[in-house]
Amino acid sequence: MTRSHEVPGHPPGRTAVVVGGGLAGVSAALRLADAGVAVTLAEARPRLGGLAFSFKRGDLTVDNGQHVFLRCCTAYQWFLDRIDARDLVTLQDRLEVPVYDAQTGRTGRLTRANLPVPLHLAASLARYPHLSLRERASVGRAALALRGLDLADPALDEVDFGSWLAARGQSARTIEALWDLVGVATLNATAAHSSLALAAMVFKTGLLTDPGAADIGWASAPLGDLHDGRGRIALDKAGVVTMTRTRASRLTPDVTGGWQVALETGPGRGTELTADIVVLAVPQREAHALLPEGAVQHPEKLLQIGTAPILNVHVIYDRQVLPQPFVAAVGSPVQWVFDRTQSSGLTGGGQYVAVSQSAVEDEIDLPVATLRDRYLPELERVLPAARGAGVREVFVTRERTATFAPTPGVGALRPGPVTRAPGLYLAGAWTATGWPATMESAVRSGLHASAEALSALGLPVDDGVLEAA
């Protein structure tokens, strides 16, 4: 990574304002504060955590959408350690994904063996019942071709993953029952709508590096307990001044080489802070609105980054219907189903499951009644124990701009952390991390932006953090 931008004409200062309290902003704030910078974090909403949060619904604590991470998400795990939240997540000892085919009624399992890559997946693949023998053999060949791709090659971003897979002998069924099973959940798009660069990043890193890389982790408590609760404690301990319900409305370079940040703290109320460094860790549209003229070369590119929705259908049954933490489905519109009973605080028996539906552009605005009519019968197909079970409650959470759309060409639209305006840095899952829009990308972006800022301030950068990430 290059380190650029001295803060010209300005003595090495040690003040920063981080705008945006999602995972990118909280990571940047912690890293800057750990290096001795006086940091103020401004977040427009009443809570931290951005797109990964929880809310109360009666006695339940509901996540806005199921979030998972993989063992290869080292930056997000750095973050969990830094906010002291390891005890609030579960990470599989060994990859285990039950995959139920609603058409045949058969369950397959994606697991790993204690063998070197790529043999660690070979046995599981050889037994995977949702593909023919020929299709299973073709997967091995495509995986080897994937392994040979150079992630640094910009040409990968010009190709869609679906065409690339088809050209490597992957049938429509293989794409649906294997590649999209993982890809839709991690990229928030089908292979046909995904950049090969982003798909290759996910599949190479998750499946073809370390044998344990794809072990799956998830929060065993509400997301808000981690990202807001523990996050806030860590920020307080690090000396960061956290201002929630505080929206940045303008960034102005000042004559001394620093920044003035106008903040709205309530209706008709506001304040202004000065700082040597500003890290803008807000979604791309908001970043575009706040960036001073000339700060990035082609600001219009930020508005060309598309977005993709995620829908969660939450169902509370009167009995246990899902015996494992989660199941993935093929042969059904249902994608992944997670048990939320314990983490939501559901009491009085029964089970709470969340159906996590990625890349559902055609469903995101459907009324709850329509989604209920569509998904309850499908859940009976995917979860045999749901047949005849009583349904106590169904509700829906919709995130219309859950992630950026990982379409081919998006790589050229994502800016890096350094702007042309000295002292102003960009962070956010949508910036150029090489990762799709994930918690991992968000934390990485925050670490990169803060490393650039520290370097510009002449402060030491703890490379261990970046290497660990």
Ligand X SMILES: Cc1cc2nc3c(=O)[nH]c(=O)nc-3n(C[C@H](O)[C@H](O)[C@H](O)COP(=O)(O)OP(=O)(O)OC[C@H]3O[C@@H](n4cnc5c(N)ncnc54)[C@H](O)[C@@H]3O)c2cc1C
Binding region for ligand X (CB under 6 A): 19-25, 42-45, 50-52, 64-65, 67-69, 247-248, 281-283, 286, 310, 399, 402-403, 428-429, 437-442
**Distance between CA 151 and CA 424 in Å, rounded?**
28
**Distance between CA 195 and CA 461 in Å, rounded?**
32
Provide the minimum distance between the beta carbon of 283 and ligand X in the complex, in angstroms, as a whole number.
5
In sequence order, which residues have a C-beta less than 8 Å from that of residue 358 and are 6 or more positions away? 184, 185, 188, 189, 308, 310, 335, 402
Classify burial at 388, counting beta carbons within 10 Å of its beta carbon; exposed 0-12, middle 13-18, buried 19 or more.
exposed
Q: Which is nearer to ligand X, 131 or 315 (CB)?
A: 315
Residue at 185: amino acid letter? A
In the block, tokens 């102003």 appear at: 424
Provide the minimum distance between the beta carbon of 286 and ligand X in the complex, in angstroms, as a whole number.
4
Q: Which is nearer to ligand X, 231 or 428 (CB)?
A: 428
- Enumerate the β-bridge partners of residue 216: 70
Q: Which is nearer to ligand X, 164 or 179 (CB)?
A: 179
**Do 80 and 241 touch, CB atoms closer than 8 A?**
no
Q: Which is nearer to ligand X, 31 or 381 (CB)?
A: 31
Q: Which is nearer to ligand X, 52 or 305 (CB)?
A: 52
**Do 252 and 128 touch, CB atoms closer than 8 A?**
no
Provide the minimum distance between the beta carbon of 167 and ligand X in the complex, in angstroms, as a whole number.
29
Provide the minimum distance between the beta carbon of 25 and ligand X in the complex, in angstroms, as a whole number.
6
**Distance between CA 13 and CA 350 in Å, rounded?**
56
Q: Which is nearer to ligand X, 139 or 442 (CB)?
A: 442
Q: Which is nearer to ligand X, 351 or 358 (CB)?
A: 358
Provide the minimum distance between the beta carbon of 290 and ligand X in the complex, in angstroms, as a whole number.
6
Q: Which is nearer to ligand X, 65 or 108 (CB)?
A: 65
**Distance between CA 436 and CA 441 in Å, rounded?**
7
In the block, tokens 């490597």 appear at: 168
Provide the minimum distance between the beta carbon of 369 and ligand X in the complex, in angstroms, as a whole number.
21
Provide the minimum distance between the beta carbon of 17 and ligand X in the complex, in angstroms, as a whole number.
10
- Enumerate the β-bridge partners of residue 328: 99, 336
Provide the minimum distance between the beta carbon of 450 and ligand X in the complex, in angstroms, as a whole number.
13
**Distance between CA 89 and CA 87 in Å, rounded?**
6
Provide the minimum distance between the beta carbon of 116 and ligand X in the complex, in angstroms, as a whole number.
27
Q: Tell me the chain's radius of gyration from C-alpha atoms.
A: 23
Provide the minimum distance between the beta carbon of 269 and ligand X in the complex, in angstroms, as a whole number.
14
Provide the minimum distance between the beta carbon of 68 and ligand X in the complex, in angstroms, as a whole number.
4
**Do 233 and 201 touch, CB atoms closer than 8 A?**
no
Q: Which is nearer to ligand X, 21 or 229 (CB)?
A: 21
Residue 384's SS3 state is helix
**Distance between CA 357 and CA 344 in Å, rounded?**
19
Provide the CB-side half-sphere exposure for 406 (13 A, CA): 36
The helix (H) or strand (E) run that includes residue 187 is helix 180-187
In the block, tokens 């912690």 appear at: 30
Q: Which is nearer to ligand X, 55 or 173 (CB)?
A: 55
Structure tokens at 416: 């890096």
The helix (H) or strand (E) run that includes residue 373 is helix 368-382
> How many Å from the N-terminal Cα to the C-terminal Cα in the chain?
13
Q: Which is nearer to ligand X, 389 or 437 (CB)?
A: 437
Q: Which is nearer to ligand X, 155 or 303 (CB)?
A: 303
Provide the minimum distance between the beta carbon of 301 and ligand X in the complex, in angstroms, as a whole number.
17
Torsion of CA 98, 99, 100, 104, to 10 degrees: -130
